[in-house]
Structure 1
Amino acid sequence: MKKNVLISVYNMEIGGIERSLINMLESFDYEKYNVDLLIFHHVGEFIKLIPKSVNVLPQIEKYTVFRKPVSQCLREGQVSLSVLRIMSKLIAGVKAKVRKLEEGSGYIQMQLSIRYSSLILPRINKEYDVAISYAWPHDIVADKIKAKMKFAWIHTDYSKLEIDNKIDLRVWSKFDYIASVSEACTESFLRIYPSLKKKVINIENLTSPTFIKKMADENITFNKVEKQVFKVVSVGRLSYVKGFDLAIEALKSLHANGYKNIKWYVIGYGGYENELKELIDKNNLNDSFILLGKKINPYPYIKACDLYVQPSRYEGKAVTVSEAKILGKPILITRYPTSSSQIENGLEGIICDLSVEGLSEGIKELYLDKELRGILINNIKNKDYSNSSELDKLYKIIS
């Protein structure tokens, strides 16, 4: 008899977490499991990529509020939830001020919003054998889903999150298992929550080399233009965390030192876009640091680049770095805390200092040294980066 599995995610906007979820759903064993997908807000280009074997549950309007502006929630009649969000913002502001948080009250505000909102959010009536909270907010699966076994997923470096750890621990403690995408993520998580050690298992983000290579063959004009230009490509949400402000300054430095043949293309979107555009304009890089926006298929751009760069301040395990390896590209990443779990430095790519100077020097080295780029490509081109067997770790527990 098939087991009933629920998987939750906030939306299906273009992002690494959502892409890894699609890969997992593509690989799931639907002969043994019925899978319901609970998407809190039915938006995002990746919705069309959900396999037909998955049953997408109807949208619940009250579950959509957490990333919408409060003004929009009020217009849509979500008065009670809007009041709770305003209250959460005020309380979070006080907590952030007391703790002198560098990134402000944003994360704590999100925590409080979902904590208070969960008191009035509706429950899901169906009972499941397994419920998986694949991404924030985990409180929904923790408090509103009835299941014999509950999983939650870690996708980031918890040592870098400025959150209220007491609130967080309350939520994590309600899960039977916590899946972490890398050993480095596990280590940073357990430094903060050592009491949860017995619950944590490592399950890497799934990648499908066949799917990625097939998608990378799509024809785009990017393949044909500016053949004399050295093309750097990065993929990621436009946020402070991803370090694209450092990337802009690094390209400015490279141009100032005579390397004006280098252009940097970024695929992604997010709330930091205006700040980045201002920085690009300020540094006269409008023709050479180019924000390409949302792309449901980033793979042709990665395939066509001369160098893939991940300039992040921190990551859990960047899906795009694994995808760049699959596509056989030379890779440069910054030395964020989990970087050593992403590539073997000097073999699969290069890890540089997490700074403007580190990025500019790393790019310059790989730009000038074609032989080094060739060595990195040869080191990865025959490797098998498929890892569908990671799902066996999940099946072993839930079967």
Structure 2
Amino acid sequence: MKKKILIASFDMEVGGVERSLISLLENFDYEQYDIDLMLYRHQGDFMSLVPNSPNLLPELPLYSTFRKSIGEVIKEGYYMMGISRILAKVNTSLYQKINNLEEPGYYQMQAMWKYSLPILPRLNKEYDIAISYLWPHYFVADKVKAKKKIAWIHTDYSVVETDKKQDLKIWKKFDHIVAVSEACKSSFLKRYCELEHKTKVIENITSPVFIRKMSNENVDNIMQRDKRFKILTIARLSHAKGIDNAVKALKILIERGYKDVVWYIVGYGGDECQIKELITKYNLKDHFILLGKKINPYPYLKVCDLYVQPSRYEGKAVTVTEAKILGRPILITNYSTAHSQIEKGFDGDICDLSIDGIVAGIEHLYDSKDVRERFKENLRNLDFSSKVELINLYELLKLT
């Protein structure tokens, strides 16, 4: 008899976690498993890429409110949810002031779920295995009945601020915790050492054939027509991704005479206004170009001269793996999990996590065409298939 599995996540907006989820769903063995997919909100440009094989459960209205504003939630008549969101916001503001937090987003998300939990409905169906694919994991922990529960980790826990005591209560409700890299696992266990016995690594499932096929899609590609030295970053416009530092680094490069350098950004996010203000302030409108959200970023990735990930922190950046699959020279900042993604000097370079570090890293690779070509040659000889990850996944599912 097939095992019944639930996989839960937020929505299918454009992002690395969502792309990895699609790859996971595409590669599942549906002859062995019946998969239900629970998305809290049936929204996002990647909805059309969700394969037909999993059964997409109906949207539950209360869960769809998490990515909406408090005003929208109250206007739609979900008054108790609105109150819980206000409580979470007030709690986060106080916590941020007391602890002088720079980035309270993770704490606020955690508080939203904590205060909303009593009024959220349960799923009636019982599963053999329930997988929570994206933090915070309250839904699978408290609202799903399953013989075994698995939670995924996609971020670097050494740099995010949460209520550790509250988080630990949720983690303890899972039988297994899956980190997407060894470095991601290590940073998690530094904070939650008591969970080592249930934590293991399964890297993101990727599909090189799909990525290469999509990179050949015919799009109106401004980058293809640009003859300058093209840097590309694919990321949310957020503090974590360091796009503000990228703008400041490019300003320095232009001042140093690298006037044929252009930096393109594929992505969207809450820091867009701030980024645009920086671009205007430094007079970089012709050199730092926001391309916005792209369902298919691969034609842009295929033609860049250098892929740069200027992040402040990452779990394991899906976009870096995708750049490797397409054979692009890569520069990433030295966030704590960087060495799990790049072998410095072999398939890319790692620079200091600072504006000056980004500048120095780009200067070096701009001036060293032979190094860029060596990276490309080395990448051609690497195997990016996910056979090992799939074996590890199925072995984990057998344990449940």
TM-score class normalised by the smaller sequence? over 0.9
Other structure's SS at 1:7 match: strand
The 8 Å contact of residues 222 and 304 in structure 1, kept in 2 or not, is answered as: no
The 8 Å contact of residues 235 and 267 in structure 2, kept in 1 or not, is answered as: yes
Other structure's SS at 2:24 match: helix
Letter in 2 for 1:150: K
The 8 Å contact of residues 246 and 310 in structure 2, kept in 1 or not, is answered as: yes
Aligned to 2:289: 290
Other structure's SS at 1:87 match: helix
**1:397 Cα deviation after fit:** 2.5
Q: Bigger shift: 358-367 or 271-280?
A: 358-367
Letter in 1 for 2:235: G
TM-score by length of 1: 0.98
The 8 Å contact of residues 208 and 388 in structure 1, kept in 2 or not, is answered as: no
Distance 2:264 2:16 in 1: 17
Aligned to 1:6: 6
Other structure's SS at 1:174 match: coil
Aligned to 2:83: 83
Letter in 2 for 1:158: Y
CA offsets per residue over residues 89-124 of structure 1, 9 Å max, x none? 212222222222222x43222212101211110000
Other structure's SS at 1:160 match: coil
Aligned to 1:202: 201
Matched, 1:170 2:169: yes
Distance 1:211 1:151 in 2: 27
Other structure's SS at 2:120 match: coil
Other structure's SS at 2:122 match: coil
Aligned to 2:301: 302
Q: What are structure 2's unaligned runs of at least 5 residues? A: none
Distance 1:101 1:255 in 2: 33
Letter in 2 for 1:330: P
Letter in 1 for 2:124: N
Count matched residues.
Answer: 397
Aligned to 1:15: 15
Distance 1:68 1:355 in 2: 34
**1:391 Cα deviation after fit:** 2.2
Aligned to 1:46: 46
Distance 1:112 1:95 in 2: 11
**1:226 Cα deviation after fit:** 1.9
Distance 1:6 1:18 in 2: 16
Aligned to 2:370: 371
Letter in 1 for 2:278: L
Aligned to 1:102: 102
**1:347 Cα deviation after fit:** 0.2
Aligned to 1:124: 123
Other structure's SS at 1:168 match: helix
CA offsets per residue over residues 256-292 of structure 1, 9 Å max, x none? 0110100000000110100000000100001110010
The 8 Å contact of residues 87 and 115 in structure 2, kept in 1 or not, is answered as: no
**1:223 Cα deviation after fit:** 5.3
Q: 1:3 to 1:362 in 2, by over 3 A?
A: same
Distance 2:292 2:129 in 1: 36
- Please give the residue correspondences for 1:1-399 in structure 2 after superposition, counting only pairs within 5 Å: 1-103=1-103, 105-220=104-219, 221-222=221-222, 224-227=224-227, 229-399=228-398
Distance 1:320 1:15 in 2: 9
Other structure's SS at 1:118 match: helix
Distance 1:390 1:194 in 2: 24
Identity of aligned residues (%): 55
**1:152 Cα deviation after fit:** 0.5
CA offsets per residue over residues 189-243 of structure 1, 9 Å max, x none? 111111111110101011111111000111233354122x000001011101100
Distance 1:373 1:125 in 2: 55
The 8 Å contact of residues 182 and 201 in structure 2, kept in 1 or not, is answered as: yes
Distance 2:387 2:242 in 1: 30
Distance 1:240 1:255 in 2: 23
Letter in 2 for 1:40: Y
Other structure's SS at 1:344 match: coil
Distance 1:211 1:223 in 2: 21
Letter in 1 for 2:366: Y
Other structure's SS at 1:35 match: strand
Distance 1:13 1:289 in 2: 24
The 8 Å contact of residues 205 and 389 in structure 2, kept in 1 or not, is answered as: yes
Letter in 1 for 2:187: S
Other structure's SS at 2:66 match: helix
The 8 Å contact of residues 183 and 340 in structure 2, kept in 1 or not, is answered as: yes
The 8 Å contact of residues 157 and 314 in structure 1, kept in 2 or not, is answered as: yes
Distance 1:69 1:218 in 2: 36
**Segments of 4+ moved more than 4 angstroms:** none
Distance 2:320 2:3 in 1: 34
CA offsets per residue over residues 111-145 of structure 1, 9 Å max, x none? 12101211110000010111000002310000000
